[in-house]
Amino acid sequence: MILGKCPYCDGNVISKKINVKGKNIKLYSCENAKKEYDESEQYVFTADSTCRFRVYSNAFLRWNKRSFSENEMKNLLNNEQIIVRLHGKAGTKEYYKYVITDLEYGVSVLWDEEIEERA
């Protein structure tokens, strides 16, 4: 499924279901950013890859957001930034942050930008 245009090249960003360490997650990847295992079992970009833009749906797991959905990814590609809801440790309050695309890391949270709490 095509989610939108890659912000870094002319490629389409495609959603795929993948399995990582027994967990089903989604990978939103520019069609020009393909990875494979090389001879030494390193997961590297293929020789014909011209882009590096890839986002995993568990990119925000560290901040207790279980899944970054296809819709959120679409909105990010269309609007260049989106607001995501993150959580602290159990029992602490949720909070909102802006997220932008990042060529190396897929997504990047703008920690210094405050967002007014929504009513």
Binding residues for Zn ion (CB under 5 A):
6, 8-9, 11, 30, 32, 51, 53
Q: How far is the CB of 14 from Zn ion (least distance, A)?
A: 11
Which is nearer to Zn ion, 32 or 101 (by Cβ)? Answer: 32
What distances in angstroms separate CA 53 from CA 14, 64, 88, 97, 102, one per listed residue?
11, 23, 27, 21, 7
Q: By C-beta, is 53 or 60 nearer to Zn ion?
A: 53
Instruction: Report the nearest approach of Zn ion to the CB of residue 89 (Å).
Output: 35
CB of 102 to Zn ion, least distance (A): 12
The residues near 1 (Cβ < 8 Å, ≥ 6 apart) are 14, 15, 70
Q: Give the residue with the Cβ less far from Zn ion, 32 or 57.
A: 32
CA torsion through residues 59, 60, 62, 64, sign: negative
For Zn ion, the closer CB: 54 or 97: 54
User: Smallest distance, Å, CB 114 to Zn ion?
Assistant: 31
* Three-state DSSP class for residue 76: helix
